[in-house]
Structure 1
Amino acid sequence: MLDNERSHHDLIEPEFLNYIFAPLFETQKAALAVSGGPDSMALMHLAARFAQMQTDPIALTVLSVDHGLRREAADEAAMVKAAAKALGLTCYVLKPENFHPETRIQESARNVRYHLMRQKMQALEITQLLTAHHLDDQAETFFMRLARGSGLSGLGGMGRTSVGFDLDIVRPLIDVPKADLTAYVQAENIVHVQDPSNQDDRFERVRWRQALKGLQRMGLQAKNIGLSARRLRRADAALDTISEAVYSERVFIDPFGCVVLDHALLTKEPAEIGIRLLARALDDAGGDAASPELAKIEALYDLLCMGKLQMRGQTLGGCGVRGHGDLVQVFREVGRLDDQAHVVAPGDSLDWDCRFRILVASDAPGPVQVQPAASITRAQFDQLMPDMNFVPMDAVRAAPLVSSGDQILALGEHVLGPNIDVFRIFGPNALS
């Protein structure tokens, strides 16, 4: 475990640098998100020092985003580029077009920042992004999420590594206090800038930053908040492992994407496990729909425990949820699907609603059309698949229908014609 009592003098110790930058031993290359503030400038200098220590070369690329929101931003990005060059690092300054958010400014800036960095990293074939999030950021995140009533996953804060914005994000400094990073850049005479928005109390994070100063006077230190967050992440990971094992062994997914759970399984497991199983079912069946809030999943779980879904169903997260005897069925709502017809040419494939992958053989006579099977009737379905009358028609109608002219080539994972394959890309044992 990292010792939070380190001083800024310890940041350059080889043992410490090897610890915080350990993920680079595997990839040998990464991008650094550098804004020009003291935290990110410390990250850039420490990463460069680490790379210089290694026998095998490690390629570091600096990415700095000029959002265009402040007049000084262009000069700050130029400063980052010059500092990177002095360290022997390549730097790209990225700038969005027509970016003028009027509300949720920090959130919008973060989203566009990661979008631009992801685009550049894809072009450079880099998958790992290092950011300068530190221990004080972790404490602020904890309280922001606590105020929203987050569960374990949220209160665990930011992990040292995670996946976000389709990137492998590494936070080498997540256990390092901001004061140590500031002391380091001052001791090393590292040029840096101060973003005035970091003191603007119109932003929620800034208000929590100010509030934490008072809490620290009461004895609540960032290092202890970080310690609690780390322990919560550990508990969350353990519960996830247990839930995934139960889900993989006990949950059935039919060929049309309907997730079927045993009602007793949901209600007899500890509540936290049952809620996670239900959340996973909604995520799998919901395709590209947004994940529902935890509070809504908990409310649905309570209904299930009370047996309130036997006579009427519920909808949540782009899914219908219905009790059926001793079972609970979770299926995609066809009314929430994009009904656009997609054309897939021979030799091509299509990932449809984040649930199914349709592959067309290269020797197929022509393109196929893929769209929801919304218009299919029970009579048509029974004629096509007479042995599957147990499947809810709601799930069938929300499955992909692959056709060529009037010929149905596939319905869900059921292939009925030549030159076509359909695979599930969600849930246990899915095609990855």
Structure 2
Amino acid sequence: MTDTHSPLPESVWERCFAPLTGYPRLAVAVSGGPDSMALLHLLRCWTESRGDSAEITVLTVDHGLRPESASEAAVVADIAGEMGFTHRTFRWEPDTTEASGIQARARRARYDLMARYCHEAGIPALLTAHHLDDQAETLLMRLARGSGLDGLAAIPSRGDWAGIAIHRPLLDVPKARLIATVAAAGLPYAKDPSNTDSRFERARLRKEQAALQALGLTPEALALAAKRLSRARAALDEAAAEFMASAVRLSCAGSAEVDGVRLRDAPDEIALRTLQRLVAMTGGRQEPVRLAKFETLLDDLRADHAAARTLGGCRIVAGSGKLQIARELRRDGIAELILQPGERALWDNRFVVSLADTAESPVTVRALGEAGARDLADRTPWLNDIPRFARFSLPSCWRNQALVSISCEGLEPDAVRADDTFNARFVHLWDEVGS
């Protein structure tokens, strides 16, 4: 795209949105800033041009970090309503005792909230307004941190979060074109002061933009480098997926078992990607884990250091020629969830749980725990096929402090099921894993 300051013509946004054809329902993340407002406008243009019947839901997360955030969310709600779209606002209460990493925590909370809603509403895909300038800035920030190939490949055009497909249709579009697009449409947009606040890394990079461009490090050049690196990442991801298909046994109960000999013999990059994917799948998306920790883990495994360890919310146990990985049940446990009859929800970012509308009353979904697993061992044979420590974090259904059911779709029915109204499905199976 040579023109970087004019509104996007139809030929461009048609190409951007083409991969979304076929989705019956879509969610779009809109904060109220110029990028997301442009995405919302273009999405409406696209659906109208196609006579598309896809249901569009606009999602806004109010992080409560600025006094204006609530009114900005209200403006988005009004505009979405005028466009004929459903709108939902979610409120996140930040932990003010943690001063560092606020933007990273806000980002994880934002995706968690939106993915949870998408599962509840049966929406398979979420759109975000990441653009070319975001891609360039991400490459520079990760270069400064010494990131590997995946980090330098920056933002993928398609990924996933807790089993929800994430699409970024505007990733090749310069920010200036999005501002021109939203201005031409006559739509208001909010300005976030954190974008120019030097306490934040992205803001510091933006202030050095002129110096970077003088060196030839334009957003277009940096984004092109990231795109080329992403091709290498895609090839390695495919090789890792092929390795995992034959060397990994992924259970519907949310745990994984790896052939230890093959993992040790695999090329470093394939082995590391396998470990990263399995921890992400089974760990409930805890804090991001640095590549260096996976490198240390792989070195230890190859040196036959078989001690159990924890990483990324997972317990990892090596021995008897295999590596077992499952969600760790810590002392503070896993958050419980109240499920009403007829409801569906995302529990622990790992399982979609549902309660039939014929259920007699609400239930509490919680981790089975060590005591529960021990009590059920004799009556539920399939529990014995799951690593002992992996049983503790299984979803279980309770009513009035009594265990009603345990359920993992794809495994044999259990012996403690009092009724068949509760169901749990692990969301990170092979065909649901994105970049």
Say yes or no: TM over 0.5. Answer: yes
The match for 1:21 is 17
Q: Is the 8 A contact 1:64 1:93 kept in 2?
A: yes
Q: Is the 8 A contact 2:285 2:312 kept in 1?
A: no
**Identity among equivalent pairs (%):** 36
State the 1:119 CA deviation: 7.5
| Farther off after superposition, 115-124 or 142-151 | 115-124
Which of residues 309, 333, 338 in structure 1 aligns to 2:333? 338
* SS in structure 2 of the partner of residue 27 of structure 1: coil
Larger radius of gyration: 1
Alignment of 1:61-100 (within 5 A): 62=58, 69-70=65-66, 88-90=83-85, 92=87, 94=89, 96=91
The match for 1:223 is 220
State the 1:116 CA deviation: 6.6
CA-to-partner distance for each residue in 1:321-376, whole Å, 9 max, x for gaps? 4443544444555656839999999999999874798999x99xxx9998334598
CA-to-partner distance for each residue in 1:370-395, whole Å, 9 max, x for gaps? 83345988xx97x9999x99997556
**Aligned-partner residue type, residue 273 of structure 2:** R
Which of residues 46, 49, 68 in structure 2 aligns to 1:50? 46
Q: Is the 8 A contact 1:8 1:183 kept in 2?
A: yes
The match for 2:261 is 264
State the 1:19 CA deviation: 0.4
State the 1:42 CA deviation: 3.1
Q: Is the 8 A contact 2:133 2:175 kept in 1?
A: yes
Which of residues 269, 275, 278 in structure 2 aligns to 1:278? 275
**Aligned-partner residue type, residue 38 of structure 2:** A
Q: Is the 8 A contact 2:119 2:344 kept in 1?
A: no
* SS in structure 2 of the partner of residue 132 of structure 1: coil
Which of residues 211, 216, 226 in structure 2 aligns to 1:214? 211
State the 1:297 CA deviation: 1.3
State the 1:258 CA deviation: 6.5
Call closer, same or farther: CA 1:22–1:288 in 2, change over 3 Å.
closer
* SS in structure 1 of the partner of residue 91 of structure 2: coil
Q: Is the 8 A contact 1:130 1:172 kept in 2?
A: yes
Call closer, same or farther: CA 1:65–1:278 in 2, change over 3 Å.
closer
Alignment of 1:97-136 (within 5 A): 101=96, 103=99, 104-107=101-104, 110=107, 127-136=124-133
**Aligned-partner residue type, residue 45 of structure 2:** R
The match for 1:324 is 319
**Aligned-partner residue type, residue 46 of structure 2:** F
Call closer, same or farther: CA 1:431–1:359 in 2, change over 3 Å.
farther
Q: Does 1:158 align with 2:180?
A: no
Q: Is the 8 A contact 2:80 2:87 kept in 1?
A: no
Q: Is the 8 A contact 2:160 2:166 kept in 1?
A: yes
**Aligned-partner residue type, residue 157 of structure 1:** A
State the 1:210 CA deviation: 1.9
Call closer, same or farther: CA 1:400–1:169 in 2, change over 3 Å.
closer
State the 1:135 CA deviation: 0.7
State the 1:220 CA deviation: 1.0
**Aligned-partner residue type, residue 139 of structure 2:** F
* SS in structure 1 of the partner of residue 166 of structure 2: strand
**Aligned-partner residue type, residue 23 of structure 2:** T
Q: Is the 8 A contact 1:10 1:16 kept in 2?
A: no
**Aligned-partner residue type, residue 229 of structure 1:** A
Call closer, same or farther: CA 1:315–1:216 in 2, change over 3 Å.
same
The match for 1:139 is 136
RMSD between aligned residues = 5.5
Question: How many residues are treated as equivalent by the alignment?
Answer: 420
Equivalent-residue separation in structure 2 for 1:345 and 1:120 (angstroms): 15
State the 1:222 CA deviation: 1.1
| Farther off after superposition, 65-74 or 153-162 | 65-74
Higher RCO, Cα 8 Å, sep 6+:
2
Equivalent-residue separation in structure 2 for 1:282 and 1:199 (angstroms): 35
Question: Which segments of 5 or more consecutive residues in structure 1 lack a partner in the other structure?
Answer: none
State the 1:61 CA deviation: 5.4
CA-to-partner distance for each residue in 1:206-232, whole Å, 9 max, x for gaps? 112223432111111211221222223
Q: Does 1:237 align with 2:265?
A: no
Call closer, same or farther: CA 1:257–1:182 in 2, change over 3 Å.
closer
**Aligned-partner residue type, residue 308 of structure 1:** H
CA-to-partner distance for each residue in 1:236-292, whole Å, 9 max, x for gaps? 222222222222212346898764433331122111111222334444564676564
Equivalent-residue separation in structure 2 for 1:344 and 1:260 (angstroms): 31
Question: Which segments of 5 or more consecutive residues in structure 2 lack a partner in the other structure?
Answer: none
Q: Is the 8 A contact 2:406 2:416 kept in 1?
A: no
Q: Is the 8 A contact 1:341 1:371 kept in 2?
A: no
